[in-house]
Structure 1
Amino acid sequence: MLKSRRRLRSRIFISFVIFGLALTSLFAVATIYMRARLEDQLINNTLQKQVDRFVEFKRKNPSPDAPFFFPLVKMYIASRQHFPNVPFEWQPYVKTGVYDITERDAGGKLVPYKLAVFRSQNYWAFLRYDISSQREGEQQLLMALIVAVLLFGALSVVIGLWMSRRVMHPVTELAGRLRASRRAGTLQKLAPHFADDEVGELAGALDEYAERLTSMVRRDHEFNADVSHELRTPLAVIASTTELMLAAPEMSEKLRERLKRIERASRQAAEIIDALLLLSRAERQGPADGESTDVAKAVADVLELQRPQLRNKPVSVSLQVEAALVVNAPASVVSVALSNLVGNAFKYTQQGDVLVRVQEGRVLVEDSGPGIKPEDAEHLFERGVRGEGVKGGGAGLGLAIVRRLCDLYGWRVRLAPRPEGGAVAILEFDAALRPAVAAGA
């Protein structure tokens, strides 16, 4: 299909020039036509009226010597002595000049006239000219111009819409092809479908950007896969080695406890890797083969894993399972979200208590730490934002990761001040929960 190579800017300029010339020409032709037609109509009407009056006059005065005066013009000259004989309507106009007056005809209708007055020392001269036909013609011309403006306005709207669609068709086509590519999920070349103009340049730039973006996403996926493989391998070695060492019967209880911590830490690292890979790919991983997560069990594992943070702190930790809660989500995702919330509570609480409550559809993590301000609660979920009063290092990424996981799975997380002091983190799961058995069953 052959495409026009005229640039878009030139097409817009030429279209507006043609549109302006066409509209102006049409309006000029219409004005000339209406003026000629109205003038011709005015002259014809005037002549017809005069011939009708002449015929009527001759019927009343059949004598060939009877004079007939052209009724459009009436003249009168009066001296000072005969000024009272001047028509009463003219007597107020005694100064030289031209005046607009109205008089009633035989039928009682107001008729407009021009009255020209000339005054000398001894007499006045009056000339009255009937302009009723002229005024009627002006009114007709005004109405014709109003109709013409409305017609040309409607015509300009139609032509403008047609021209705008024609001029902007390449842009609309480009947007449509972009939407089609997005729906199809495939990368299609855009530049070959457009002319060598501004839209073609834009299509070429989009093609180049899409190629760079696709290459970057491919490298990112490859990097994630490589990192996942390289990290899982040493974690698998740690887990298998720990399992073998725990099976040794001659091991002391103290060493066994430390190995269990190593085992839990390796499991937590594997879960964190799974969650971060999901976030990097923006993919929601559903449970495989009906897999689901018991939230109470996940909370218990997280509390045990995070308990070393409370070493040498007078903080009591308790778990209350008020309702059974099973979520259709991978255990790694649930554990990472809960680990960050519980870890924050342990980090900020220097003394007092941390209470985790598993309720229907949600988990509450309450602590007796320094608390938070209501206006700062939402900002703590931003990357790099840390709460006040925290000791030790940290990049302020934990809550940001929780928010991203919640956005990915349709959950909700929020922070609020605890009424008795401290803070409470609330993790609300979506309505798509697996029917849970009664607690303790």
Structure 2
Amino acid sequence: MRSERMPQPLARRILLSFILLTSLVAGINAWAIITVLHEVEEDLVGEELRQDMAAVENVFLTEGRIPDLTGGSALYAPTLRPQKPLPRELETPHPGYQEVVTERVAWHVLEEEIDGHRFILVRNQDAFEAREKLFYKVVAGGVLLAIALAYLIGRLTVRRVIDPVIRLAAAVRTQGAARPLATAYGDDELGQLAQAFDQAFNELQAALERERLFTSDVSHELRTPLMIVSTSCELLAQGPLPDNSQRQIARIAKAGADMQALVETFLQLARVQTTRLAEGDGVSLEQIAAEQVAVWQPLIEVRGLSFVYRQEGTVSGRWHPTLLRVVLGNLLRNALHYTEQGEIRLCLDVDGFRVEDTGPGIAPEELGRIFEPFQRGRHARGEGLGLGLSLVRRVCAQAGWSVTAEALAAGGSCFRVRLRP
């Protein structure tokens, strides 16, 4: 499986850019200096050797003798000076200029043939090699010094460039839209970024306020007609009506109660910090689970399905009753909506609860969007709009819970709600 590379922090990327650019420039300069030095060495030493060889040729041809040389050069003439043995590195003829470097010697050599005799002019370059190695060390030290300076300059640049951005990010996280951000920055690029954040915050706050007012207003206005429907159902149920009418009235009353619960949920979602309960408030998971079992078990069994309720563990704590009721009720409704045969299971554990079914399951391509609004599975039935699971996710996010969905290996689906982080 291919792993995604984590992006490097911006400060580190800037610092690495400084170091890499300096290393590249310093390396090219060092290479150029060493190359020029080597070329100059060959030109100068080669020219000196040619001048010395010209003087030897002039003396030999005019005076018939081999002159003595000064300046650290040695002259070999194997056919004229047999008493001066030729080093084994020079035994093979090699006319012209060359460098001879072995583990034992380092020479500049110029070989020419004068009047049928080999003349070999040799200059030892040990001293020059020593100076050359020292020069290489100086060049390498200069490269390392340049990299160190690039690191220091990069750190200073990062501090001047990135630190204001970090402060702005911290202000966005902690301060938000509480007060304008742009007032703390000048009229530069960073100030423009702060102004953009302020504008985005203001637009987002206005949109959230409009949504909150719309939700609360609609929910408030629905309370009165729902109360009328509920009261009318109670009055009609007390009258002498046939069994068929009584059943229809019971269905209307249940639908009205469900709508009343949704209205209460919407009102709770529209309030700020609705899930913070005072000490001792709220209900346990077992209480809401027992209540929902009493409501949903008959509806499930009348469809010819089995209902299983298990307590595998106990999660300590007290929870908002309306929010917990909406989450559990919508998950059971969803399971009933998609299951045609088999069973539906409600299992409580130490983290929260899960709702399992033996329905068609969840296709892999649907897992990523199943909690999005207006998303219905490919096996959906009835006239649902695909808002139940979206509401479950919103409620869980508001309450600080988490909800996940997965397909079961044996078939069906599982929705897990964790009430604890």
Contact map agreement 2:406 2:415 (CA 8 A) in 1: yes
From 270, 292, 295, give the equivalent of 2:288: 295
From 132, 145, 149, give the equivalent of 1:138: 132
TM-score by length of 2: 0.65
Contact map agreement 2:219 2:263 (CA 8 A) in 1: yes
Counterpart residue type for residue 86 of structure 2? F
Counterpart residue type for residue 343 of structure 1? R
Counterpart residue type for residue 89 of structure 1? P
Contact map agreement 1:323 1:360 (CA 8 A) in 2: yes
2:419 alignment partner in structure 1:
430
When residues 423 and 287 of structure 1 are mapped into structure 2, their CA distance, relative to the original with a 3 A threshold, is farther
Looking at CA atoms only, which structure, 1 or 2, has the larger radius of gyration?
1
When residues 229 and 129 of structure 1 are mapped into structure 2, their CA distance, relative to the original with a 3 A threshold, is same
Query: Secondary structure at the residue paired with 2:82?
Result: helix
Question: Is the counterpart of residue 151 in structure 1 residue 151 in structure 2?
Answer: no
1:331 alignment partner in structure 2:
321
Contact map agreement 1:74 1:128 (CA 8 A) in 2: yes
C-alpha separation between the residues in 2 aligned to 1:226 and 1:71? 106
C-alpha separation between the residues in 2 aligned to 1:127 and 1:424? 93
Contact map agreement 1:296 1:324 (CA 8 A) in 2: no
Instruction: Note the aligned Cα RMSD (angstroms).
Output: 4.7
Higher relative contact order, chain-length normalized (CA < 8 Å, sep 6+) = 1
Counterpart residue type for residue 73 of structure 1? S
Contact map agreement 2:76 2:121 (CA 8 A) in 1: yes
Query: Secondary structure at the residue paired with 1:129?
Result: strand
1:63 alignment partner in structure 2:
none
Q: Displacement, 1:388?
A: 4.7
Identity %: 24
Contact map agreement 2:171 2:181 (CA 8 A) in 1: no
Number of positions where the alignment pairs a residue of Structure 1 with one of Structure 2: 356
Question: Is the counterpart of residue 219 in structure 1 residue 217 in structure 2?
Answer: no
Contact map agreement 2:401 2:418 (CA 8 A) in 1: yes
Query: Secondary structure at the residue paired with 1:214?
Result: helix
C-alpha separation between the residues in 1 aligned to 2:233 and 2:313? 32
Counterpart residue type for residue 318 of structure 2? N
C-alpha separation between the residues in 1 aligned to 2:128 and 2:400? 82
C-alpha separation between the residues in 1 aligned to 2:106 and 2:129? 8
C-alpha separation between the residues in 1 aligned to 2:354 and 2:156? 61
C-alpha separation between the residues in 2 aligned to 1:276 and 1:339? 15
C-alpha separation between the residues in 2 aligned to 1:218 and 1:320? 41
Q: Displacement, 1:343?
A: 2.7
When residues 405 and 141 of structure 1 are mapped into structure 2, their CA distance, relative to the original with a 3 A threshold, is same
Query: Secondary structure at the residue paired with 1:264?
Result: helix
Write out per-residue CA displacement over residues 376-426 of structure 1, whole angstroms, 9 at most, x where no aligned residue.
78468333443454432222232333344345442546465596xx84655
C-alpha separation between the residues in 2 aligned to 1:267 and 1:216? 30
1:165 alignment partner in structure 2:
159
1:270 alignment partner in structure 2:
260
Structure 1 residue runs of 5 or longer lacking an equivalent are: 1-11, 40-67, 104-108, 433-441
Q: Displacement, 1:331?
A: 3.0
Write out per-residue CA displacement over residues 38-75 of structure 1, whole angstroms, 9 at most, x where no aligned residue.
x9xxxxxxxxxxxxxxxxxxxxxxxxxxxx97462345
Match runs of 1:407-422 below 5 Å: 407=397, 408-410=399-401, 412=403, 414=405
2:48 alignment partner in structure 1:
none
C-alpha separation between the residues in 2 aligned to 1:247 and 1:393? 28
Bigger shift: residues 216-225 or 356-365: 356-365
TM-score by length of 1: 0.62
1:84 alignment partner in structure 2:
82
Counterpart residue type for residue 98 of structure 1? Y
Match runs of 1:280-319 below 5 Å: 285-287=275-277, 290-292=281-283, 294-300=287-293, 302-303=295-296, 307=299, 315=304
Counterpart residue type for residue 96 of structure 2? G
Query: Secondary structure at the residue paired with 1:84?
Result: coil
Contact map agreement 2:237 2:249 (CA 8 A) in 1: no
Write out per-residue CA displacement over residues 94-150 of structure 1, whole angstroms, 9 at most, x where no aligned residue.
6653354589xxxxx955443433323354545443433322222221222222222
Match runs of 1:35-434 below 5 Å: 70=70, 72-75=72-75, 82-89=80-87, 92=91, 96-100=95-99, 112-121=106-115, 123-166=117-160, 168-169=161-162, 172-240=163-231, 242=233, 245=235, 252=241, 254=243, 259-278=249-268, 285-287=275-277, 290-292=281-283, 294-300=287-293, 302-303=295-296, 307=299, 315=304, 328-349=318-339, 371-372=360-361, 375=364, 378=367, 381-383=370-372, 384-407=374-397, 408-410=399-401, 412=403, 414=405, 423=412, 425=414, 428=417, 430=419
When residues 128 and 177 of structure 1 are mapped into structure 2, their CA distance, relative to the original with a 3 A threshold, is closer
When residues 415 and 315 of structure 1 are mapped into structure 2, their CA distance, relative to the original with a 3 A threshold, is farther
